[in-house]
Amino acid sequence: MTMQKTFSIIKPDATRRNLTGKINATIEAAGLRIIAQKRVQLTQAQAEGFYAVHKERAFFNDLVSFMISGPVVVQVLEGNDAVAKYREVMGATNPENADAGTIRKEFAESIEANSVHGSDSLENAAIEIAYFFAQTEIVG
């Protein structure tokens, strides 16, 4: 077990339905600590940059439109094996395939409006954290 930081986004479908607190409770119950957090309205350029890896995918434009359709909550989570742990807590991309008790099973509306983002590797976690947070905003 190693202490890690991962990056999380509570997506617009969840902020719209006032689910930030319920999702944070699930994160904390899993033993992850929210060590940075802010609610922001992404610009189109920010959303396109964040999801640049997906720019050739058929759903890219829809995904960007969805991600700027309302406020999001960006977060840094810390804990033992936080990257893999949070992926477990989130559940599968498609909520129909997500395990019971996961955030996506409990809250997601669709494969696109799936309530949360979490980094898929330690390397991407560091890149994604730096995309949104200054070191001074992260308080462990």
Contacting positions for ligand GDP (CB under 6 A)? 59, 62-63, 93, 111-112, 114, 117, 120
Find the length of the chain: 140
Q: What minimum distance in Å lies between the beta carbon of 44 and ligand GDP?
A: 16
Which of the following is catalytic: 11, 90, 117, 133? Answer: 117
To the nearest whole angstrom, how small is the minimum distance from the Cβ of residue 115 to ligand GDP?
Answer: 9
Please give the DSSP secondary-structure letter assigned to residue 119.
-
Nearer to ligand GDP, 14 or 36 (CB): 14
Please say whether the dihedral angle defined by the alpha carbons of residues 50, 53, 55 and 60, taken in this order, is positive or negative: negative
CB of 9 to ligand GDP, least distance (A): 9
Structure tokens at 75: 């977060």
Whether the CB-CB separation of 17 and 108 falls below 8 Å is answered with no
